[in-house]
A = this chain, B = another copy of it.
């Protein structure tokens, strides 16, 4: 029997989990400090809940769950239709489940609902360096308000998280989905080709202006509007936010609501991390207002992204409810933190404060009692699990990195004492039980 993990999946050993939890706990603390509340949704959703939400490519990447029993036997009669074989699927992101929850539990939720959700999602993508088929998203969303306060708070949450994790060079790229449409209109790109244009523009970071120009051509967008929009993007590179807004207004020929919205967001936020980028497209189709993406210099691609989506929740219920959110990508944050050595050193050692040795069969109870005593004093205590030579027990403690060892040998047991060995400097002293706590704390 092979012991491999499935393709694109990962096992996390204790040192990995400690790092992951360190980051997740900071994200959770910051989210909660803004009044976001936790929800959780199941890994398995009805297939129809997910289909059609993530674009054609997204549909292909959904992990579908095979029907079982009689339903499967029936479906096998209709096996040419592969959707007939599955009726459930794995969560693909955290936004669609949120929209489903809000539509479903509307009466149980407050008028303004700020929720966060930190859970894994699954995509049947081709695994590659840094791309996994199971990965955590850390989402926060504010439901029920169209006020710019929502976006401004989200900028602030992102900055707090990144700063607490030790990042000092990030920017939040900001754009507006409607502004992008207005720019395409102004260039004369017809409505029916605008989705195509956005898909190409979304790749600007990766393939550059020449690459996008080529994609435009392949997607049937005419040469003149292509060149107009791309040279406009080029002109704006490196400009100040204020200048960009002025140029955009000139380009479109009027101050539209989307320009006003961006102006308001920049003014209220007073946040130097915000960087207008009118070429930012964001892949997903459901955005309706401001869109943003978190970028650091040494990572192509983003550490997270989000935006306003005022029309998604209505897909699941009778009522259209405005919403805006952001998703931090845990896996990418971890990769960059690893490269930059941003983890506290203490995460390298296990969570244990003290190991208690075991002398012989008869003294096992004594060892267990000392361990119990230390646990009640608040320490994390490991008991060596077997009767063994003392030097083997000490060697083990040193290997796994325990800072203190309580030795209960023949003489200690006879005298009713405990020897405490400091594994860092090698010193050892015989103590009364009651002296242990203060010595270990020191």
Enumerate chain A interface residues (CB-CB to B < 8 A).
1-6, 9-14, 16-18, 20-21, 32-35, 37-46, 48-49, 60, 63-66, 68-69, 72, 76, 79-80, 82, 85-86, 88, 90, 97, 100-101, 103-105, 108-112, 114-115, 120, 122, 124, 133-134, 142, 144-145, 147-150, 152-153, 156, 160, 268, 270, 315-317, 350-352, 355, 358, 364-365, 368, 372, 375, 379-387, 396, 399-400
Contact = CB atoms under 8 A, between A and B. Distances in A.
| Most chain B CB inside 10 Å of its own CB: which residue of A39, A63, A114, A385 | A385
Contacts of A103: 3
Contacts of A16: 40
Given A66-B66, A66-B82, 11 more contacts: A5-B42, A11-B101, A14-B115, A17-B38, A21-B38, A35-B355, A85-B85, A110-B399, A110-B400, A112-B385, A147-B385
A382 B382 CA distance: 42
A35 B386 contact: no
19 contacts: A2-B46, A3-B103, A3-B104, A5-B45, A11-B39, A12-B40, A13-B39, A13-B101, A14-B38, A18-B38, A33-B375, A33-B381, A63-B65, A63-B66, A66-B82, A156-B368, A160-B375, A268-B365, A270-B365
Contacts of A43: 43, 90, 120, 122, 134
A41 B68 CA distance: 25
A383 B150 CA distance: 9
A17 B40 contact: yes
A68 B7 CA distance: 14
B72 A381 contact: no
The count of identical subunits is: 2
B68 A65 contact: no
Nearest to A358: B149
A98 B101 CA distance: 33
B375 A109 contact: no
Nearest to A66: B64
A308 B173 CA distance: 55
B147 A387 contact: yes
Given A63-B44, A134-B42, A386-B149, A1 B316 contact: yes
Contact of A11 (B104, B145, B364): B104
Nearest to A374: B33
Contact of A68 (B60, B97, B160, B396): B60
A294 B80 CA distance: 49
Nearest to A119: B120
Contacts of A80: 76
Contacts of A134: 42-44
Contacts of A49: 1-2, 6
A341 to B, nearest CB: 21
Contact of A6 (B3, B13, B88, B316): B88
Contacts of A352: 35
A96 to B, nearest CB: 10
A358 B112 CA distance: 14
B35 A351 contact: yes
Given A44-B134, A385-B147, A111 B396 contact: yes
A380 B160 CA distance: 13
Contacts of A133: 44
A358 B150 CA distance: 12
A229 to B, nearest CB: 33
Contact of A268 (B111, B364, B381): B364
Contacts of A79: 76, 79
B104 A35 contact: no
Contacts of A385: 112, 142, 144-145, 147, 149-150, 153
Given A149-B368, A153-B383, A386-B149, A108 B44 contact: no
A182 to B, nearest CB: 24
A3 B85 contact: no
**Across the A-B interface, the 5 shortest Cβ-Cβ residue pairs:** A35-B382, A9-B42, A14-B37, A3-B104, A3-B316
